[in-house]
Structure 1
Amino acid sequence: MRPFIQLLHFGYHQAMSCLFPVAIFGTLALSSVIELPFMHRYDAILLILLAVQYLMVRSGLETLDELKVICVFHVIGLLLEIYKVGMGSWSYPEPGLTKLFGVPLYSGFMYASVASYMCQVWRRLRMDMTGWPGLAAAGLLGGAIYLNFFTHHYIPDFRWWLTALVLIVFWKTWIIYRVRSSTYRMPLTLAFVIVGFFIWLAENIATFFNAWKYPDQHQAWQLVSFSKISSWFLLVIISVIIVAQLKHVKADRVNRGS
């Protein structure tokens, strides 16, 4: 009976941590079947997601520190979207007033939702890490991963080399998380894979509701390539590196102040 209760508590915290991603997919689904005669769909999505963020902060579901992290990821994601759309990797074919270089501003929220989940689950499950490689190693690796998303259009794609580096750099790193009074742990790289897989599932839902389209989806929707899991795996690493480093910095400040 106790394992079942633990699983329920774990599932509850996971579900609460996914509130913002659920809001995004709910908005995408509704906006795909409900047409607003006075506003473009992309513009309506942006306004709704801004309102959701405001309500989450006002209600205490999200802290101001977490909102700052989300804003950082929104900018990181938007820059990547602008570049990828410019390269023809995917497109946003619908009209909108809040589009920048062909990319709707709401798109950054899809990256920010990953950060929202990371921040929320970290706080709710009272997470910590052991064997963290430090800012130098983690930061350089995260920077190289992000840069590779841009450079692989011109030079060879180093994602598999970077994946091997991830396994080397983080092979001693474990996530510690707590459910009620019990403490559990798992390898950080395993967490990368699990989250990356679920983001890939979410990506299939998003493209089904026309959040964006890959070139092979313009005639008819089809499953996103399994190879995209590796891309999300690497993107999750960037998210974790930034969130974890900010958590470490904040913890150090609290310890010095106490």
Structure 2
Amino acid sequence: MRTAHFFIFVKQQALSCLFPVLVFLMLAASHLFKLVIPRYDFMLIACVSIQIIMYCTRIETKDEVLVICVFHLLGLVMELFKVHYGSWTYPEFAYTKLFGVPLYSGFMYASVASYMCQAWRRLKLNITNWPHHHIARIIGALIYLNFFTNKFIYDVRYLIGLLILYFFWRSAVIFDLKGKLYRIPTILSFLLIGFFIWLAENVATLLGAWKYAYQHNGWTVVNYQKISSWGFLVIVSFIIVAELKMLKSGVKKSVAPITDAVHY
């Protein structure tokens, strides 16, 4: 990758992360207003306001906002389940709490969707050798369900991981930088995004967004196993966004064309 293209890539990635970055800034700022308004309530108002501003300024499209809303609901459902079974807690008081879960928490998942939608549009993403739509959707559903069922039965994430390796190993993400096409293996993109979200989670817990049981006596690094959890969540998110993009564009086949102009 040329140096100029590298900086363009970094710039587009940074712009795609606008919503997650603003969420972190609001988490930091929430400490300044905690004597006026509970932090979790402040975060809900802030997240909703950011979304409204991003839509009104056309940073996000109507379709992207709808996708973000879907992810907010999916994330909120998972939060309700995980908090109920003690996976983590939201110890601070808030008026906008539902069964111990602040309503803003769904935006943490929605920020992942916002990044993916923004990156897809800004980098003109395309995918080659994508699995059949039914297979991709079934794998996504299995991953999401396993986040719930692993509390009652054996955690099958690594068995699902074998399915992912089998069906996605030939797939690649194609992105455009000033007319030059580059590609990265889809599985590698899953791992990289999951790792960076884990880094972000460390910052979020440091800022008091939520706490794991082992962090109540003082902050410590989030368990490294969470990298795989975030990796699987990224796969679910990617599948949902990719399938919606293909559905909207009328793609009938699961394999997108790849040209000789692609650079590695």
Deviation at 1:218, TM superposition (A): 0.2
Q: Does 1:147 align with 2:145?
A: yes
Q: Write out aligned runs for 1:50-69 (5 A).
A: 50-69=48-67
1:48 to 46, 49, 54: 46
Q: Deviations over 1:178-209 (max 9, x none)?
A: 11111000110000000000000000000000
Q: Write out aligned runs for 1:197-212 (5 A).
A: 197-212=195-210
CA distance, structure 1, for counterparts of residue 132 and residue 60 of structure 2: 27
**Partner residue in 2 for 1:21:** 20
Q: Write out aligned runs for 1:85-164 (5 A).
A: 85-164=83-162
Residue type of the alignment partner of 2:243 = Q
After superposition, the CA RMSD in angstroms is: 1.0
Report the secondary structure of 1:186's partner residue: strand
Deviation at 1:104, TM superposition (A): 0.4
CA distance, structure 1, for counterparts of residue 69 and residue 169 of structure 2: 30
Deviation at 1:75, TM superposition (A): 0.3
Deviation at 1:55, TM superposition (A): 0.5
CA distance, structure 2, for counterparts of residue 169 and residue 161 of structure 1: 13
CA distance, structure 2, for counterparts of residue 119 and residue 26 of structure 1: 21
Q: TM-score, normalised by structure 1?
A: 0.95
Deviation at 1:164, TM superposition (A): 1.3
Q: Deviations over 1:120-161 (max 9, x none)?
A: 000000000011112210111111100110011111111111
Report the secondary structure of 1:65's partner residue: helix
Residue type of the alignment partner of 2:168 = F
Report the secondary structure of 1:106's partner residue: helix
Deviation at 1:29, TM superposition (A): 1.2
**Partner residue in 1 for 2:10:** 11
CA distance, structure 2, for counterparts of residue 93 and residue 77 of structure 1: 19
CA distance, structure 2, for counterparts of residue 67 and residue 242 of structure 1: 14
Q: Deviations over 1:202-256 (max 9, x none)?
A: 0000000010000000000000011100000100000010000000011118xxx
Give the count of matched residue pairs: 251
Report the secondary structure of 2:2's partner residue: helix
Report the secondary structure of 2:173's partner residue: strand
Deviation at 1:8, TM superposition (A): 1.2
CA distance, structure 2, for counterparts of residue 119 and residue 154 of structure 1: 34
Instruction: Select between 222-231 and 160-169 the one with higher mean Cα deviation.
Output: 160-169
Deviation at 1:38, TM superposition (A): 3.0
Residue type of the alignment partner of 1:29 = A
Q: Deviations over 1:81-129 (max 9, x none)?
A: 0000000000000000111110001000000000000000000000000
CA distance, structure 2, for counterparts of residue 137 and residue 215 of structure 1: 36
Deviation at 1:30, TM superposition (A): 1.6
CA distance, structure 2, for counterparts of residue 125 and residue 114 of structure 1: 16
Report the secondary structure of 1:133's partner residue: coil
**Partner residue in 2 for 1:229:** 227
Residue type of the alignment partner of 1:230 = S
Deviation at 1:7, TM superposition (A): 1.1
Q: Write out aligned runs for 1:187-202 (5 A).
A: 187-202=185-200
Q: Deviations over 1:1-55 (max 9, x none)?
A: x8221111111100000000001111111213x1343321100111011110001
1:180 to 178, 181, 190: 178
Deviation at 1:66, TM superposition (A): 0.3
Report the secondary structure of 1:177's partner residue: strand
**Partner residue in 2 for 1:171:** 169
